[in-house]
Amino acid sequence: MANVAFVLADDFEDSEFKVPYDRITRAGHQVTVIGSESGKEVRGKKGKESFTLEATPDEVNAADFDALVIPGGYAPDKLRMSPGVVKFVKGMFEGDKPVAAICHAGSLLVEADAVRGRTVTSWPSIRTDLINAGADWVDREVAEDGNLITSRKPDDLDAFVDAILGRL
């Protein structure tokens, strides 16, 4: 089974973490949730979900993971300010491993320089940021381009997780 990393910070979109996490673990894959501080509890922006971070980017190696999932919400904007998280995302992307980002998570992909020349989708408010970073933005449920898997919003979660599981 695959070893899947999630990156998470406070104010993540609750369902965009919980639905992929649950489905990926139910499918038998190992998941490690990475963030700024091991043992820190982070909370979803709607207050429905919380999770205790299991590792920092300095404690893990991108080469040890088979895929990365980046939930949306306000967390990606916080994570893009963490050099360790950005380096980890870039390592996963450059290692040609599946990198899955939903909603506002595209902002972290921009910071990791992972969208240039790629077709992606996202929440509409970061469309211009993605285009300015060299992406071809499309408005569809899921966009897959090379090792990138992107989706727009919580309504797209079933298709998003199906695409991730299809790569694992």
Q: Per residue in 11-20, pLDDT tens? A: 999 999 999 9
Close Cβ partners of 102 (under 8 Å, ≥ 6 residues apart)? 13, 16, 70, 71, 72, 150, 151, 152, 153, 156, 157, 160
**143-168 pLDDT per residue, tens:** 999 999 999 999 999 999 999 999 99
What is the average per-residue pLDDT within 62-71?
Answer: 97
pLDDT at 48: 94
> What confidence category does residue 118 fall into, taking pLDDT thresholds of 50, 70 and 90?
very high
pLDDT of residue 32: 98
The pLDDT-based confidence of 139 (bands split at 50, 70, 90) is: very high
Count of structural domains within the chain: 1
Within the chain, residue ranges assigned H as helices are 14-26, 75-79, 83-94, 106-111, 127-132, 157-167
Q: How far is Cα 106 from Cα 30, in angstroms, rounded to an integer?
A: 24
Mean pLDDT value across the chain: 97
Residue 35: per-residue pLDDT: 97
CATH code at position 40:
3.40.50.880
Share of the chain above pLDDT 70, in %: 100
Domain containing 135: what range?
3-167
Q: Any idea which residue has 């992909």 for tokens? A: 109
pLDDT at position 19 is: 98
pLDDT for position 107? 97
Q: State the catalytic residues.
A: 103-104
Measured between alpha carbons, how far apart are the two ends of the chain, in Å?
8
pTM across the whole model: 0.97
How many degrees, rounded to 5, is the angle at CA 49 between CA 56 and CA 68?
A: 40
